[in-house]
Amino acid sequence: MRNLLLTISFDGTAYHGWQVQENAVTVQQTLQDALERICSRRDNVVGCSRTDAGVHANMYCCNIRTESAIACDKLVGALNAVLPRDIAALGCREADFDFHARYDCKSKEYIYKIWNSPNKNPFLYNYSLHYKYPLDEKFLSAQAQAFVGTHSFDSFCAAGSSVESTQRTVFAAEVEREGDMVIFRVEADGFLYNMVRIMTGTLIDISRGKIPADSIDAIIQAKNRFAAGHTAPARGLFLNKIYY
């Protein structure tokens, strides 16, 4: 029995997130279907993270325990031959047998893309939020520093979520601009349901004056979802990097 660490990327537009669901097409199911075609058996695929419907991944890691003898480089090539065009295998390597893609993850980086232009871009609709009013990325980056540190992020978790602890450590948070694209980048040891999308919505609401500037500390302390801003749409969110 081998344990393989597989790295993929995917366009989440057509999928109801990563995890297998009844009556919904997911990335995990599609990947397991492809592996079954190649290896002639249905091995379980363990993902590094759940993702919402419509969320994308520049880098997503998973591990597969399998008795298949196919070489890692051959597996990558075979997967890319059978996977749909919106999922790509990037790499594969042998891992220790007890390696777990989720529990051994040290941190994850997400990015949220905002197309900040008076004019919409039809080619970016599925991969960014169009926001036509001016955004000051330096001001928003300064605001985002309040996210850094170990906090209980109840205010930045979707109402009704059930988790043992809402405490997470954010290592870095910044907002940068590349032309008309504004990018919110955040790295943490873990994320709550909708956490990055609510962070993004809060920064936008601060920019528009709906939430006062310099209030993120108070929002965190409130531990109340209603204290934070709106939830930004899923289509602008990318799981960007996984660190082990």
Residues tagged active-site: 52
Residue 126 contacts residue 141 (beta carbons within 8 Å): no
Q: Residue 108 and residue 84: Cα distance in Å, rounded?
A: 25
